[in-house]
Amino acid sequence: MAESSEKGFNVIELTIQGFHEALRGEKTSCAELTKTYLNRIKNLDQSTRLNSMVVLNPNALTRAEELDKEYKETGALRPLHGVPAIVKDNYDTFDLQTAGGSLALKGSIPPDDAYQVRKLREAGAVILGKSNMAEWAFSPYQTVSSIAGTTRNPYDLERVPAGSSGGTAAAVASNLGLIGLGTDTGNSIRGPSSHCNLVGFRSTMGLTSRDGIIPLYLRNDVGGPICRTVEDATRVLDVIAGYDEADPITRLSKGENPDSYLSNLKKNGLEGKRIGVFRYYTDMETADPEMRREFEHAIEDFKSLGAEIVDPFEVEDFDELCKDIWCNTFKPDIAAYLATLTDPPYRSVEEIVETELYSDYIEDRLKSMAKSEPNLTCGNVYEEPKNIKLRNAITDEMDDARLDAIIYPTWSNPPRLIGDMDSPAGDNSQRIPPHTGMPGFSVPMGYTYDGLPAGLQIVGRIFSEPTLIEIAYSYEQGTKHRKPPLGF
């Protein structure tokens, strides 16, 4: 299965730091690592029916060789030097097709990189290729596109990896790349991370740029890391966080992000932290009993690792605060994105609908969006009264209880079987971070039903990433739940 490079260096569960230590020790090279991952993709992605990738980068090996030469000449490593990365198909890449999962954009090559992709490259990352996604990022439940078909969950190939970043999650979980990028409008970094036993960071709205990402609802969209460890996700966040003039909302990040988040990787990071237990989702009748069990185990783990638990944490009138809070801006957002292309094949959602180049499962929603009149009065999550009210209600309760963060299962039910759209889904990510701007991290929490991954969501105040990293890292290091899928 091409687990090792030519020098016998094993890539399974490899970390950025582990790779760089091996580079310094001449146990591998950038080119050898890139070749190993490309071979794993070619040998495993289709043969197992995982189907996580859309296109591979024909220049990946050449770029890795250039980085080997640079290291040999300078003796210096960039932050992500030679790190093979998998990028979701809705991130612009100047040298690779960016289709958003849609046949309508097949062959579309943007004029430049998305901001986050550019920052990865500047930090030395090698882009291996683009991963499959739910078409136009429409589904949190499954990763199915008209351009590449169905992506499966590597922990059970008959089950979904969630959506819409399921391709990135499935590939990273299967050790087909070292790190990954996903996007999250309401779930799509945290959900696939939970279903695939990974770490996913949805950062504070405004900490990272959305420039060059095909939008779903731009006012809710956040891009960020999907990785196997908290440390690797933190290293990626270090690279992509900060102000970008092409995305005005990132002006809010000025003075908020430290020079590096790596100092927050503390094994004792939970000691003295006050953590609120948000039981809203596990109290639902549809919550799976095994997921409830794993959540209770997580609470006990937090206690044993030094946290003070406040149980329960409640938000008065939570349902009412969340009512009708979504704002459909898809039509104008997509039109604005298409206008950035040098020679766009289409210029509007209406034109895309006319092509009939889309999957059956999104047809009704796509046509509805084409016919609907978007609410152009919606402000961003920091300006819209409903969003402000929800955020204030949550943070006021956190302040009263003197909490550092709140926790709840990322999903209250295990991954569904492919094709099952009737059993309880259990997606718990659609409300708090997307509509408050608050950061939400998902980390492995354990397993249900003979090895199906479960994820824990940790939510904090605006720009509280340093605190969330301390909490997530301490929990990860104290529990070590992450295990690779069998057969990969």
DSSP labels, 231-296: HHHHHHHHHHBS--TTSGGGGGGTTTS-S-SGGG--TTTTTT-EEEE--TTTTSTTS-HHHHHHHH
Half-sphere exposure of 105 (CA within 13 A, CB side): 28
Distance from C-alpha of 44 to C-alpha of 37, rounded to nearest angstrom? 10
Q: Does 88 qualify as catalytic in the annotation?
A: yes
> Which one is catalytic: 164, 253, 412, 429?
164
Backbone angles phi, psi at 270, to 5 degrees: -90, -10
Distance from C-alpha of 180 to C-alpha of 96, rounded to nearest angstrom? 16
Helix (H, G, I), strand (E, B) or coil at 202: strand
Contact 16, 178 (CB under 8 A): yes
Q: Which residue has the tokens 């978007």?
A: 374
Question: Which pair of structure tokens corresponds to residue 104?
Answer: 């309508």
Q: Does 164 qualify as catalytic in the annotation?
A: yes
The one-character DSSP state at 130 is: E
> In the chain, how long is the greatest CA-to-CA distance?
62
> Which one is catalytic: 29, 52, 145, 188?
188
Helix (H, G, I), strand (E, B) or coil at 126: strand
> Which one is catalytic: 35, 88, 119, 386?
88
Contact 331, 374 (CB under 8 A): yes
| Residue ranges in 313-431 assigned as alpha helix (H) | 318-322, 330-338, 349-355, 363-371, 385-400
Which residues are annotated as catalytic? 88, 164, 188
